[in-house]
């Protein structure tokens, strides 16, 4: 089954060009949303992925409608393929149901990996150069005023034991790692039972 996905970045933009192209391509179902590609929360795209079945083809108007970065694109296409589906981009001549399309996509994946390696190498080289000049790289030691305030609240919530670690993180909009860093900074003993 061909399943279309159409997206525009703002409420003011019109989906009709994409919808017409997807219908012409034979899509039996089309998921559409008006949300910026930079946003991780794309409920319609998630619904599409959740309902994807073996042999389904996800059809998009252009690659940038699906993802904003090469890394995100590679991850999404891998997820589609893991579910037994394929991707067809109408304007980018990419169709992972064909050998040529699969090859093109593998080149994209290799480029994404290459880009990550270059960034990693540049970061290492920059840190080494800074150390050679006597400066240490990375984040400054200690916490900002705002982080100190959040750490105090995190400590109180953690010691009250009324909320789970996950709930504390959600309340404070921080990750588990950040919570544990804050608690260690405050000198809190982390108990295995309250993780």
Task: Pick the catalytic residue from 9, 24, 69, 144.
Answer: 9
Nearest-angstrom CA–CA distance, 174 and 66: 27
Nearest-angstrom CA–CA distance, 84 and 107: 20
> DSSP string covering 43-67, please?
HHHHHHHHH--TT-EEEES-GGGT-
Q: Closest Cα to residue 188, out of 145, 157, 163, 167?
A: 157
79, 47 contact by CB (below 8 A): no
Residue 193 is a catalytic residue: no
Q: Closest Cα to residue 58, out of 97, 111, 17, 19?
A: 97
**Phi and psi for 16 in degrees, rounded to 5?**
-60, -35
Active site residue ranges: 9
């Amino acid at each position: 089954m061909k399943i279309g996905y159409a997206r525009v970045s703002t409420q003011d933009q019109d989906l009709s060009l994409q919808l017409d192209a997807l219908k012409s391509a034979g899509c039996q179902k089309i998921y559409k949303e008006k949300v910026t590609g930079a946003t991780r929360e794309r409920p319609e795209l998630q619904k599409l992925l959740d309902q994807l079945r073996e042999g389904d083809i996800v059809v998009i108007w252009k690659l940038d409608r699906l993802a904003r970065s090469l890394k995100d694109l590679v991850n999404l296409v891998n997820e589609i393929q893991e579910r037994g589906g394929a991707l067809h981009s109408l304007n980018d001549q990419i169709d992972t149901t064909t050998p040529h399309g699969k090859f093109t996509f593998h080149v994209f994946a290799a480029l994404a990996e290459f880009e990550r390696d270059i960034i990693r190498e540049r970061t290492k080289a920059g840190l080494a150069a800074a150390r050679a000049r006597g400066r240490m790289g990375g984040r400054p030691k200690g916490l900002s005023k705002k982080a100190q305030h959040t750490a105090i609240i995190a400590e109180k919530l953690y010691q009250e034991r009324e909320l789970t670690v996950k709930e504390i993180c959600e309340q404070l909009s921080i990750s588990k790692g950040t919570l544990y860093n804050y608690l260690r900074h405050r000198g809190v003993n982390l108990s295995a039972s309250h993780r």
